Amino acid sequence: MTKVLVVGDLHAPATHKNYLKFVKKIQAKYNTTKTVFIGDIIDHEAISRHQKNPNLPASLDEYIVALKEIKKWHTAFPNAVVTIGNHDDRVCRRAESEGIPGMYLKSFNDVYGTEGWDWIHEYEHDDVLYTHGIGWGGKTPAFNAANYLRKSVVCGHTHSIAAINWHNNGSSLLFGMNVGAGVDNSHLAMSYGRYSLKKPMISCGVVINGKPYLEIM
């Protein structure tokens, strides 16, 4: 029996201080056998082209604090799949915009010391697609993608949504699961959403033999 633990967006160093403890509790509850980080492991606020909070640290200082957070997660989950998110990819996109070929960049594993983690954009297992969810919108992003792709989908990206939606066409079942996030909404890197009515759902997901379960912290 395959039991997949799905970890929401971490945005290190803006990760909720209790999220790791919560996720480990869910791992033990379901006795999961695989771990998928759904993307945006790192925030990379300092190198963003967007307007930044002037009270946040510079890029090297941000990296040092983020690395400390990532090491805790790597120790807890030494073997995992990471579906690369738009924040993870900021360095690569910034380099590309400046005309710097990818051969000059280190891998995520080299930069963050995450040997045993497989950083990829999409992962499919038991007929379920796991991906960060870049570009997917609406009230049910994962479900919208599932209907379009005609396969079950798990994604993150939209912090304020933690939900499972099903579709039954009479001969097969499809689901879309948004797993929420593990961010600290009081962190300065999250200040862009401080006045939003929708706050992050601190949660994670589990998929057992292709069927989803959602856990709220």
Q: With CA atoms as reference, report the closest residue to 187 among 45, 59, 85, 77.
A: 45
The DSSP symbol for 115 reads T
Nearest to 92 by CA among 117, 64, 72, 121: 121
pLDDT at 62 over 70: yes
Task: Give the model's pLDDT for residue 22.
Answer: 98
Alpha-carbon distance values, 116 to 34, 38, 79, 170 (Å) = 12, 16, 5, 41
DSSP code for 106: P
* Residue 141 near residue 133, CB atoms below 8 Å: yes
Task: Out of 20-29, 85-94, 120-129, 132-141, pick the least confident.
Answer: 85-94
Q: For 72-124, how does the pLDDT look when each residue is reduced to its tens digit (9 = 90+)?
A: 999 999 999 999 999 999 888 877 887 888 788 889 999 999 999 999 999 99
| CA gap 127, 151 in Å, rounded | 7
pLDDT of residue 18: 98
Q: Please state, rounded to an integer, the average pLDDT across all residues of the chain.
A: 91
Report which of residues 61 and 17 the model is more confident about: 17
Predicted confidence at residue 161, as pLDDT, reads: 96
Residue 12 is which amino acid? A
Which two three-digit tokens encode residue 69? 């957070």
Dihedral sign of CA atoms 93, 160, 117, 176 in order: negative
The one-character DSSP state at 131 is E
Q: Which two tokens stand for residue 164?
A: 């499972």
- Block residue for tokens 């879309």: 176
> pLDDT above 70 covers what percent of the chain?
95
- Confidence tier at 179 by pLDDT (50, 70, 90): very high
Determine the pLDDT at residue 100: 86
Supply 124's token pair: 């499919």
pLDDT at 23: 98
